[in-house]
Structure 1
Amino acid sequence: MSDQLRKYQDKEAFVSGHSGSTLHEILLMCTVIPIGLQLYYKLLPFVDSKQKIFLEFAVLILPMVVVQTSWLDDIGNVMLLVSMMTVAYILPAKKVNANQVKDPSSYDELKRPSFLSIHRSSVYLLTTIAILAVDFPIFPRKYCKTETCGYGWMDLGAASFVIIGGWTSSLSPPGISSHSVVNKSIKKCAPLLLLGVIRLLTNKRLEYQEHVSEYGVHWNFFFTLCFMELFVVVWRRFKPNLGSGVPLDGIVATATMITYQMYLSSGGQDFIENGERRCTAKYNEAWTMCDVFYANREGILGSVGYVCVRLLSEEIGRFCLTSASRHQNLVVSTLLLWVVHLVFTVLLQVPTSRRTTNLPFILWALAHNMTILSLIEYVTTSFTLANDNKPPTIPCILNAVNRNGLAVFLVSNILTGLVNLTVDTLHASNGKAMGILSMYLAAVCGIAFFLDKLII
């Protein structure tokens, strides 16, 4: 066996076969975002404009890295959060300078609330960190994607992207023509399809390690996103108009998800987890459409779940984000999602499966993101009320990442591949891993800043 092949197999084994962590530990990790945000806004009046970026890195960005490493165990995570929370709440309240809040006349808080932008950029950064950190021993294996069922920290990344896309879409102004919707979706789908093809070719050509049980042999998340965008276009074009009071998206998504779960519970789950990669009798025969389906069943069937996530998140966005009772609706929706998730997983004993994107997984992804969004909304609302109803400035790093999300995601994937091709990540020390992760994150954020200034 060649050294290159052995290295490839070792890296593939390093990111495969994991059973995940716990629901509450993953939720605890992500609370560094609202707690760090509270600390940031409390400290903001004590720094000048040139120091804001260093403050943001110290209390928002750095904790996102630390909680994804073995430098902190479960008790360490609790200690980090408690210490940040203590500092945030014992600091005296002080109004910020006028240049540290948005001008209400030029900022429509209802159209694109700051807490949604902060959550979106935080998801991008957390995912950006994880996709490289997972290749180093410093990244706890319990946070890797689960092989079959369970709660994996990296399981949430793809679903969170889809959920945020649904929330953002729910804020789009009404009355857009179907032609405009089609053009916009095609513009979004074309680069996704291109990125999917590039990802497929580079993985095969460079023999980059692949977690086949993630999406299949040829499928990847870019293809899932493209399929989802095309489905949304068709659905919006042909769905019946039953009036604004009928949550048709939610009804269709719920019915589809229940039907899909019934299929999984009646044998579909076993097929996805244990089925053959080809359906032809002889593996040396030419590939058929059936073979393609068998080889990529995780990605193809999982797209059903992601479409449902998208429709449900849009419905939730319309109910929560555009309502005058925004905070109450967020809290009620979050609690309801957690209750339904526990009903399926505890009472009905249906396991949470990222690999099949089943109903408990969808409920968990929605409930988790809703919890963090609600906490961020609480922090930004408190800040707004304390500063004469002026909404807060989005931290500059988060704002740049939010405005250039797709570019950040693309750059992070390219840099991750380059690091893996040039560095022996499997045997890197913790200090070396942290150094590489810091330079990598600085490069990603720097490119986001550059693009942001270029666009402006």
Structure 2
Amino acid sequence: MDPLRKPFNPHKHLKEEFVSNLTGSSMLEIAALSAIVPALILLRHCISSSGIRDLLYVAEITPKKNDSVAVGPKYWKNYMVTLVMDFLCIILPILSIFTVLAEWTHACAICLVLMLLVFILVKRFLPSNSHTIEGFLSSSSLRASISSYRVSMMIVTCLCILAVDFKIYPRRYAKTETFGTGLMDLGVGSFVVANALVSRQARNVTSLKWKAALQSISPLILLGFGRLVFTAGVDYQVHVGEYGVHWNFFFTLAAVSILTTTINIRPQYCGIFGALILIGYQICLMCGLNEYLVSNKREANLISQNKEGLFSIFGYWGMYLVGVQLGNCLFFGTDSASKMRSVRWAIIRVWFLSLLFWSLTIILDKNVERVSRRMCNLAYVSFVFAQNFQVLAILMLSDFFPGPKTSLLEEAFNRNLLGSFVLANVLTGIINLYVDTLSASSLASFCILVGYAFLLTVLTGIAMFSGIKLKFW
């Protein structure tokens, strides 16, 4: 190798140290952040016009699909204007609160929730909107709330994976080294829960055959190896304490899918089986496995090199199975004759589960073992469920006032969840290779993050308008 050749990533070790040895934030601050994102989404719904439905309809139609429908410049202009407004009302405030306004997180959360309550009261009691609650509670609005929840999780993930490399992003929001609760610790767990709640098992859909299952899992495996090759090829920074030397996020999702497909369990029993796995895994951790996983010592074999990623699979698999039964009971398993009553009870139960899991997290964290994403222990599983159900519960408030239940931005991301995440990872990698993120000023950092978020939004919106849907199976 030519010693004079400039390395792809000269600041690799500094960037790795920048995201190492962190202890996270408080659960109260995580709860506040988890209230801010859905509140902003609902406030956007409150001020959206009914014309969003026409734009969503046009976005589903392309000249290739229907030559009789002309998607002209007028629709394109209105589409992009609405998309930019969504960006300004949702993504820009989230990015600001996660960076320059991070010291006012609790105040921002309180203000946004109060604003949301005011909007709901005004919308509910205006003479022109004097409808009954039953007029808004529907299975379609429930589906919209679930979609909004999945999109909110994706948007936060896409913003944080780049923001964490800049000093403008608080270190307490980054992933913790061993124990603690950081905002970014919720990433992989939220993906697992979001997938479990609406999975084929939760919906009582017949399980895929082996060929179809392998086809479904193969994109995750390919993305996992693709990330591994890319990081090694350009000497990209990798925090080994997250998953190990070779393991990564995509391999964890693929492993959970493989286990779920191999051991097919009826959704009514998934929760019990998942709880047994989690309890058994937690017992193993307390018997000495936790010391092995948090240790920085690694032997030459693959298991030791990737111990965090391999052993945490048991925690994520148990989390997934519990999520399957909860999704089945909450959204798909009811045989009630009244859909309105089913939806109303789903809302009540989601709020109850959020409070229950927050209480359980506090108890486990203080009396059993502190929350640890690195090990995916029982406290971490409870922490992930608490945060996810909190976000979903707040978004379900949309059922108590009239108006649009979604935005153009949400529809665009929902259409290409995996595609937007892959695009965000590619853009993050490019920016990290060509920008010294550690030396960037606060103003420069914020401008780069806004530009990145805007580009991601526009490209995702163009994909939906053009009828592009990145789906491998």
Counterpart in the other structure of 1:79: 107
Q: Call closer, same or farther: CA 1:381–1:222 in 2, change over 3 Å.
A: same
- 1:339, distance to aligned residue in structure 2 (A): 2.4
- Contact (CA 8 Å) 1:145, 1:153: kept in 2 or not? yes
Counterpart CA distance in 2 for 1:167 and 1:175 is 13
- Contact (CA 8 Å) 1:32, 1:60: kept in 2 or not? no
- 1:187, distance to aligned residue in structure 2 (A): 2.4
Counterpart in the other structure of 2:454: 442
Counterpart CA distance in 2 for 1:248 and 1:440 is 44
The SS at the match of 2:140 is coil
Structure 1 counterpart of 2:223, from 174, 177, 195: 195
- 1:54, distance to aligned residue in structure 2 (A): 4.0
Question: What do residues 399-431 of structure 1 show as CA deviations (whole Å, max 9, x unaligned)?
Answer: 111110111111111111100110010000111
The SS at the match of 1:425 is coil
Q: How does 1:230-309 map to 2 (within 5 A)?
A: 230-236=258-264, 239=265, 247-274=268-295, 276-278=297-299, 291-309=301-319
Counterpart CA distance in 1 for 2:209 and 2:350 is 28
Q: How does 1:251-400 map to 2 (within 5 A)?
A: 251-274=272-295, 276-278=297-299, 291-322=301-332, 323=334, 324=342, 325-346=345-366, 348-377=367-396, 379-383=397-401, 386=402, 392-400=404-412
Q: How does 1:105-184 map to 2 (within 5 A)?
A: 109=140, 113-169=143-199, 173-176=203-206, 178=207, 180-184=208-212
Which one has more relative contact order, counting CA pairs under 8 Å at least 6 apart? 2
Counterpart CA distance in 2 for 1:132 and 1:96 is 44
Letter in 2 for 1:262: I
Question: What do residues 198-223 of structure 1 show as CA deviations (whole Å, max 9, x unaligned)?
Answer: 11111111111110000000111111
Counterpart CA distance in 1 for 2:127 and 2:204 is 37
Counterpart CA distance in 1 for 2:247 and 2:211 is 25
Q: Call closer, same or farther: CA 1:351–1:90 in 2, change over 3 Å.
A: closer
Q: RMSD of aligned C-alpha atoms? A: 2.6
- Structure 1: gaps (5+ residues): 98-103, 280-290
- Contact (CA 8 Å) 1:45, 1:95: kept in 2 or not? no
Counterpart in the other structure of 2:413: 401
Question: What do residues 154-209 of structure 1 show as CA deviations (whole Å, max 9, x unaligned)?
Answer: 10011001100001116864352x4x354443222111111111111111111111
- Contact (CA 8 Å) 2:196, 2:202: kept in 1 or not? no
Question: What do residues 373-399 of structure 1 show as CA deviations (whole Å, max 9, x unaligned)?
Answer: 11111x22112xx46xxxx34111111
Letter in 2 for 1:63: P
- Structure 2: gaps (5+ residues): 56-77, 130-135, 335-341, 469-473
Letter in 2 for 1:302: S
Letter in 1 for 2:190: S
Letter in 2 for 1:380: S
Structure 1 counterpart of 2:424, from 412, 419, 423: 412
Counterpart CA distance in 1 for 2:381 and 2:115 is 35
- Contact (CA 8 Å) 1:170, 1:317: kept in 2 or not? no
Letter in 1 for 2:101: L
Counterpart CA distance in 1 for 2:313 and 2:14 is 29
Question: What do residues 38-64 of structure 1 show as CA deviations (whole Å, max 9, x unaligned)?
Answer: 322332249987454344223321122
Percent identity over paired residues: 29
Segment of structure 1 superposing worse, 193-202 or 445-454: 445-454
Counterpart CA distance in 1 for 2:202 and 2:272 is 20
Counterpart in the other structure of 1:206: 234
The SS at the match of 2:373 is coil
Counterpart CA distance in 2 for 1:184 and 1:120 is 24
Structure 2 counterpart of 1:27, from 11, 27, 31: 31
- 1:369, distance to aligned residue in structure 2 (A): 0.5
Q: Call closer, same or farther: CA 1:393–1:42 in 2, change over 3 Å.
A: closer
Counterpart CA distance in 1 for 2:360 and 2:317 is 19
- Contact (CA 8 Å) 1:39, 1:85: kept in 2 or not? no
